[in-house]
Structure formats: C-alpha cells, structure tokens
Amino acid sequence: MNTIKKIIQLIKQFLWDEYNLFFVGSSDKLPEPLPREKETEYVLKSMEGDEHARAKLIEHNLRLV
C-alpha cells in the first residue's frame, strides 16, 4: 500500500512540474452554471469577439471539462 501512495505522489509531482496541472477535488468549488439567458448573451458577445464574454463562458462551464 505504501508503494502505491509513493507512485501516486510521483505522478502528481510529474504532472505539476511538467504541466502545472491542478486537480479540483469536487464540483462545489466551481462556479454555478449560467442561466440560459446569460449564457446566450455571452455566446453572442463572444462570437462578436468579446474576450470578457468568452472568459465567462469558459469559467462557468469548467465542470464540463
């Protein structure tokens, strides 16, 4: 069992060092999904090149990744 923990720790360290990869422990740490109207608004703005709208869409849809 101790060997498994060491292997997991090595994998985590590798991912952190090489890719700056982070792990989210649970979905309650993520922002709530946007209401349909807001999401539609941000999609339209994003299609027009609004970077803030694009960032909002990404932020509120992280749970889908």
| pLDDT confidence of residue 49 | 93
Q: How many CB atoms lie within 10 A of CB 43?
A: 14
- Residue 49 lies in domain: 25-65
| Residue 54 within a domain | yes
| Residue 63 within a domain | yes
Distance of CA 38 to the CA centre of its chain: 19
| pLDDT confidence of residue 42 | 93
User: If the chain, 65 residues long, is cut into consecutive pieces of 10 residues, what is the mean pLDDT of each piece?
Assistant: 80 72 65 91 94 90 76
Rg of the chain over Cα atoms, rounded to whole angstroms, equals 17
| Residue 12 within a domain | no
Distance of CA 53 to the CA centre of its chain: 16
Q: Rounded to two decimals, what is the model's pTM? A: 0.56
Written as six digits, the tokens of 29 are 């740490």
- Domains of the chain: total: 1
| Residue 58 within a domain | yes
| pLDDT confidence of residue 40 | 93
| Residue 4 within a domain | no
